[in-house]
Structure 1
Amino acid sequence: MIDTIDQQLIAALMDDSRLSLKALAGITGLSSPSVGERLRRLEERGVLTHYTVDIDPKHFGYLLQAIVRIRPLPGKLQEVERQIQAIPEFTECDKVTGEDCFIARLHVRTMDHLDTLLDRINAYAETNTAIVKKTPVRRRLPPLTND
């Protein structure tokens, strides 16, 4: 069961995963050792799985972001999945229901770069690509209440 204090800890870590135990204690009103114990329990239960950083790919020359819907050709599902996993510019990919089997996000430097990467997939699948103009909602958690 996730209680209000656990929810506060998770929300604070989502904003800044580098917060110290002391800072988290100040947010929750608990002692630092109590916060440490709660975090350990959340990790053991699999609620907290990673502490991470968020970078802006533009600082590494990836000026474009694309969402690609991918529909493998008959008998090519596993090969398409292998190709997606092998291309590091694919930063996220979900296997989904419906006509398309995969919806993926990738970061590229130029349109030519995008074409080169998609050519590797197009031998095994049909693709439909949209360039991301803006991200009005960044990845976030759903409400953490148990209501």
Structure 2
Amino acid sequence: MANDVQSLDEIDQAILEALAGNARISLKELAQQVGLSSPSAAERLRRLEERGVIKAFTIDLDLATIGYPLQAIVRVRPLPGQLHIVERIIQDIPEIIECDKVTGDDCFIARLVIRSMADLDGILDRVAERAETNTAMIKASPVKRRLPPLSRRK
């Protein structure tokens, strides 16, 4: 029942919201923000991890500052009999930073980062013999990855 929203009380929700804003927040500051002692906040955090609610603490990179000023969304439709091969190829392309296997006409929707438009062709060529692709360049991201609603709306 790790995904049971009902099992998150208001304090758990406050902890998750604080961590979503800053995963490196100190335990003391986290405790203050959610109205607990440091040992109580540590115990709550430990239980959220044990239950699988928190899977990792991560960072949010500014991709342009590390040399990837461009991003694209690529829809991938493997040719008949090529699904598993295409999936492995996608997994082996380090510029693909996220990929979902989806229903519908396309089997995969991937997000990739590139240093230049010239790099895009080289990346897409790796799957071209085994799949059709449709690429959209990302102009802006008006909604960044965020938490879903944590409380039930009434």
- In the superposition, the TM-score normalised over structure 1's length comes to 0.98
Q: Which secondary structure does the structure 2 equivalent of 1:5 belong to?
A: helix
Task: State the AA in 2 paired with 1:138.
Answer: K
Matched, 1:126 2:132: yes
Equivalent position of 1:92 in the other structure: 98
Equivalent position of 2:24 in the other structure: 18
Equivalent position of 2:80 in the other structure: 74
Structure 2 residue runs of 5 or longer lacking an equivalent are 1-6
The correspondence of residues 1-147 of structure 1 with structure 2, limited to 5 A, is: 1-147=7-153
Q: Which secondary structure does the structure 1 equivalent of 2:73 belong to?
A: strand
Q: Which secondary structure does the structure 1 equivalent of 2:11 belong to?
A: helix
- In the superposition, the TM-score normalised over structure 2's length comes to 0.94
Structure 1 residue runs of 5 or longer lacking an equivalent are none
Q: Distance in 2 between matches of 1:27 and 1:146?
A: 22
After superposition, what is the alpha-carbon deviation per residue over 1:77-123, rounded to whole angstroms, capped at 9, x for unaligned? 01110011000000000000000000000000111101100000111
Residue identity over aligned pairs, in percent, reads 61
**Runs (4+) off by over 2 Å:** none
**1:57 CA displacement:** 1.2
Q: Distance in 1 between matches of 2:96 and 2:35?
A: 41
CA RMSD of aligned residues (A): 0.7
